[in-house]
Structure 1
Amino acid sequence: MHKISLANKFFLALSLLFLPGPLFAKFDFNANCLKAYQLIFELKLNPARQMVASEKKANPNNAIVPLLENYIDFFYLLTTDSKDDFNRLKGNKGSRLDQIADDDSNSPYYLYAQAEINLQWALIRGRFGEQFNAALEIKKANSYLQENAKKFPGFHLNLKGIGLINAVLGSLPDGFMKKTLSTFGIKGNVKTGLAMMQKLAEGLPKSTYEPFYEEAVFYYSFVLVDVAHAENAYAETMKYAARVSDNSLLKSYLKAYVSAKRGHNEEAIGVLAERPSGGQYQAFPYLDYLMGIARLNKLDFSAAAYFNKFLQSNKGVSYVKDSYLHLGWIELISGDIKGYQAYAEKVKGMGYAINERDKQALNEVASGSPNVGLLKARLLFDGGYYSKSLEILGGIKEGDLSLVKDRTEYHYRLGRNNDELGKWDAALEHYQQAVNYGKSLKAYFAANSALCMGKIYMKKKAYTQAKASFNTAINMKDHQYENSIESEARDSLRRIN
């Protein structure tokens, strides 16, 4: 099967294919730039830096260079998650845009490159809490891409950014970012965005824009799993990632992340264990964190070594609190209450509360130590071990659970496992019990139960009940994951209507 990683001798011919004529004289995506771009998407960032520096020296006026430099900064910050590096590098944006703005406005890369740089910084700013600046950059990116699509309708790459903006904005819950972008007149549509991105992923291998395939698949997969919460996210990701080179560490990240999120835990572990390594690859501590998650989801306590490795090498702002929480859970399941409490104190005192997982970790320890049986069932469910999770729940008697939160979670876990196993009537019964018990709790179990009920009713084509369930989820306030649950419920209502 043809891979995206092309032999060097074909790069010049390929560049001539999709950059024909004098129109692209100053935006020169030549063989060196194509090779650097490929290295970036394999997460070989240092070799990519060297190639870009060489191109910059040979062709100082090539306006593709600042775009590639921005790609490198984007993936460097994605992998390090470092606030200090973010503050150091974000000043590069202005000079890069200035260089591009002085170049050939008749090239389709003129507006596209400016849009890409703005969009990349918007995505990174969101990780560090700079929401207003991110909104301004999304506004600029959207404006550039819409104009470029009118000027160059045959320039396929416009679909990537426009599709991404549509999907992300269409899923935003009510809040500061959505309100700000609405003020700018920008609204999204998840279905429209997904259709654009799928069209691009499907069509690029058949076009002269094939080198951009991996980037299109990267964004499409994350929108499927994290934005649209699509049931086919795993199947689509594996389908489109198959033709990406196995030399790509980004491919390993993508496959492992989607596998872990969609209950294909053994595959996630296998992909992470076999991921490419070596000095040419960018350090990526998050992958050790992800391995810890996957191993603990099968109650494998070797997970502790991966969480500790992540904590030792990580310089970022995310997943520190969540790592300490998981280390605490290992102690709790092992019967060491004091060990759990010690890690609970670290959850409170270490790391930042920017990422949703870290905010949730704080909420978890504030709620007290979890019921060990329910915790085991939860972890096994997250790993996709639904029958084993039900076995654990079968050994728990509801009457022995004195806390309303635990009774709510008990029915929620029974609902989730039966749901995944296709036992919809049993799932609906337990979800309704969770809603009844937990509608006033800060825990997310009741609200997410209502959301899951709506999804089942949609599958049954019982749209009246589905709408009622989604509205129940929306009307529950002041609970964990409120924004994401409400956003998904509203998007589901739009699909019904």
Structure 2
Amino acid sequence: MTKKHLLLFFFFCVCSVSTYANFNFNANCVNAYEAIISLRINEARQLIQKEKQHDPKNGIIIMLENYVDFFSLMASDNKNDYERLKDYRSDRLSALEDNSDEKSPYYLYTQAEVYLQWGLLKGRFGDYLSSARDLKKASNLLKENTKKFPDFTPNKKGIALVNVIFGSIPSNMKGITSFLGMTGNAPTGIKQLEALRLELPKSKYELFKDEVIFFLCYINIDVLHNKNSYDKLIGYVADMDSKSLLKSYLQGYVAFKSAHNEEAINFLKSAPASTIYIDMPPIDYLLGNAKLNRLDTDAYVYLNNYLRSYKGINFIKDTYLKLAYFYLLKGDNAKYDYYLKQVRAKGYAVDEKDKQALKEANDAPPDTDLLRARFYFDGGYYNKALAELKDEKVNTFKLLRDKIEFYYRLGRVYDRMEHDNEALQNYQQAINLGKKTSYYYAANAALSIGYIYERKKDYPRAASFYKQAIDMDDHEYKSSIDNEAKDGLKRLGK
């Protein structure tokens, strides 16, 4: 063989190894995917490596590696890992684009998945414009793939997610979507995901069912703020793999966010703790908060566990504040003061919860009766919350802040107990006292009254209170309250 032919042969061999020439979602890849969705990440990596040795040209490997990064970052929230891992995005997309198997429905689909997952991650880490661009690219690829392969069911997952995301973009970020020419419809996207959840078990793509349930839970709770969907979502999660850590986490997450505190504690304490699963600090965060809502004496254990194991930037100040309040209610003022100092010194004021924690740490100590009522309410213990409040007299509070909060807390409790008249009266008192202060109580009271009147189909009054909520400035949670009020006006066609 001549030197020239030897070089050509060598070049061919190198290219044949580095180029992905097929998409084979075989049994080994299915097992790796299922391990990822169950958060058995090390097992998934081993299975992916096994597939690389068996069929190094299989393009499914690239998608699975991206799934590993996606769920690892969702669990850890680690900014350093995010900056390191996002460099793989372009290489993976290039390798998928170079794949010679363009007749496979997975050719465009795997590219769309990489764009979609990084679009979600970029949004989570604050790279909003780049996030929107990736999501738009994912949408375009999925639409093209649907035209080429209309019977390829997995296309529907990404299309539905993009519909929800662009249909629920906060009003203060609408400029980005307008710039990119993207629109969406959140209710339509939810219906698409609901239909897909039912369709998948009847198809050969049933393995994607748990992932769809994962997104349905997050969208209902975090995007739509649907706090009354507990029974429905818990029913969905019950169908997931019984050995899945993601299942246990979602059960606890849905229960906690829906004020089913006892169930949340039981689900979270039952989560598998084997080393075969990825570390999940959010479980300790939720469990510590749920136990604090019940005023358990060991709540501090789980809050401290979260601080020790979490490497991200969110809820650090919030967790230190919860520890401060835990010790305040125990009467340990020295530890209360210590943890207040940690709120001021540690963590980041990026998330609204952390911004609120910092403000509370720099304010006067809370009234302990109001604080207990707050925790009981958050846990869904409405009778206990009411018992903390009903014997209080507003004039016994020295601070205007506490008077506003008293009416606000009463309004919230009566609202959840479906005593609308009492709720409206107390919410209005909170508005009257607090509309010109920097506390969020008045604005959220106006938003809550809007919800009550919307339920009653008194749309003019609902719109009036949504507008009142928006008009109040310079308070905590301004962005989220405004966005929810604007969503309300949008539902009313205002």
Contact 2:21 2:57 in 1 (8 A): no
What displacement does 1:32 show?
Answer: 0.5
Query: What SS does the aligned partner of 1:62 have?
Result: coil
C-alpha distance in 2 between matches for 1:348 and 1:298:
26
Whether 1:163 aligns to 2:160 is yes
C-alpha distance in 1 between matches for 2:195 and 2:431:
39
- The counterpart of 1:148, out of the listed 124, 145, 148, is 145
With 111-120 and 369-378 compared, the bigger mean Cα shift is at: 111-120
Q: Which has the higher Rg, Structure 1 or Structure 2? A: 2
Partner of 1:33: 29
Superposed CA offset, 1:295-328 (max 9, x none): 0001113110111111122222222111111100
Correspondence 1:96-495 to 2 at 5 A: 96-103=92-99, 104-175=101-172, 177-495=173-491
C-alpha distance in 1 between matches for 2:312 and 2:479:
24
Contact 1:171 1:487 in 2 (8 A): no
Aligned-residue sequence identity (percent) comes to: 46
Contact 1:174 1:483 in 2 (8 A): no
What displacement does 1:40 show?
Answer: 0.4
With 287-296 and 139-148 compared, the bigger mean Cα shift is at: 139-148
Query: What SS does the aligned partner of 1:353 have?
Result: coil
- The counterpart of 1:93, out of the listed 84, 89, 96, is 89
Contact 1:252 1:271 in 2 (8 A): yes
C-alpha distance in 1 between matches for 2:188 and 2:464:
25
What displacement does 1:25 show?
Answer: 8.2
What displacement does 1:131 show?
Answer: 2.2
Contact 1:260 1:268 in 2 (8 A): yes
Contact 1:221 1:233 in 2 (8 A): no
Partner of 1:13: none
Amino acid in structure 1 at the alignment position of 2:169: L
Contact 1:118 1:137 in 2 (8 A): yes
Superposed CA offset, 1:57-113 (max 9, x none): 211111111110010011111112212211221111111111111123332222222
With 46-55 and 118-127 compared, the bigger mean Cα shift is at: 118-127
What displacement does 1:215 show?
Answer: 0.3
Contact 1:234 1:262 in 2 (8 A): yes
Amino acid in structure 1 at the alignment position of 2:440: Y
Partner of 2:12: none
Superposed CA offset, 1:253-276 (max 9, x none): 111011001110000100011111
What displacement does 1:357 show?
Answer: 2.1
Partner of 2:74: 78
Amino acid in structure 1 at the alignment position of 2:252: A
Residues 53, 187 of structure 1: alpha-carbon distance in 2 compared, 3 angstrom cutoff: same
Contact 1:444 1:481 in 2 (8 A): yes
Structure with more contact order per residue of length (Cα contacts < 8 Å, sep ≥ 6): 1
Query: What SS does the aligned partner of 2:52 have?
Result: helix
What displacement does 1:468 show?
Answer: 1.1
Contact 1:139 1:181 in 2 (8 A): no
Contact 1:171 1:488 in 2 (8 A): no
Query: What SS does the aligned partner of 2:171 have?
Result: coil
Correspondence 1:39-78 to 2 at 5 A: 39-78=35-74
Contact 1:289 1:306 in 2 (8 A): yes
Query: What SS does the aligned partner of 2:314 have?
Result: coil
C-alpha distance in 1 between matches for 2:374 and 2:384:
11
Residues 372, 51 of structure 1: alpha-carbon distance in 2 compared, 3 angstrom cutoff: same
Superposed CA offset, 1:315-350 (max 9, x none): 222221111111000111122333222211111111
What displacement does 1:192 show?
Answer: 1.4
User: 5+ residue gaps in structure 2?
Assistant: 1-19
What displacement does 1:231 show?
Answer: 4.2
Superposed CA offset, 1:232-286 (max 9, x none): 4212211111111220000111110110011100001000111112121111112
TM-score (norm 1): 0.92
What displacement does 1:435 show?
Answer: 1.4
Query: What SS does the aligned partner of 2:234 have?
Result: helix
Contact 1:129 1:354 in 2 (8 A): no
Residues 485, 153 of structure 1: alpha-carbon distance in 2 compared, 3 angstrom cutoff: farther
Residues 146, 483 of structure 1: alpha-carbon distance in 2 compared, 3 angstrom cutoff: farther
What displacement does 1:165 show?
Answer: 2.1
User: What value does the CA root-mean-square deviation take over the aligned residues?
Assistant: 1.7
Contact 1:127 1:354 in 2 (8 A): no
What displacement does 1:379 show?
Answer: 0.6
Contact 2:228 2:258 in 1 (8 A): no
Contact 2:443 2:472 in 1 (8 A): yes
Runs of 4+ in 1 over 6 A off after TM superposition: none
With 450-459 and 353-362 compared, the bigger mean Cα shift is at: 353-362
What displacement does 1:166 show?
Answer: 2.1
Contact 2:171 2:486 in 1 (8 A): no
Query: What SS does the aligned partner of 2:344 have?
Result: helix
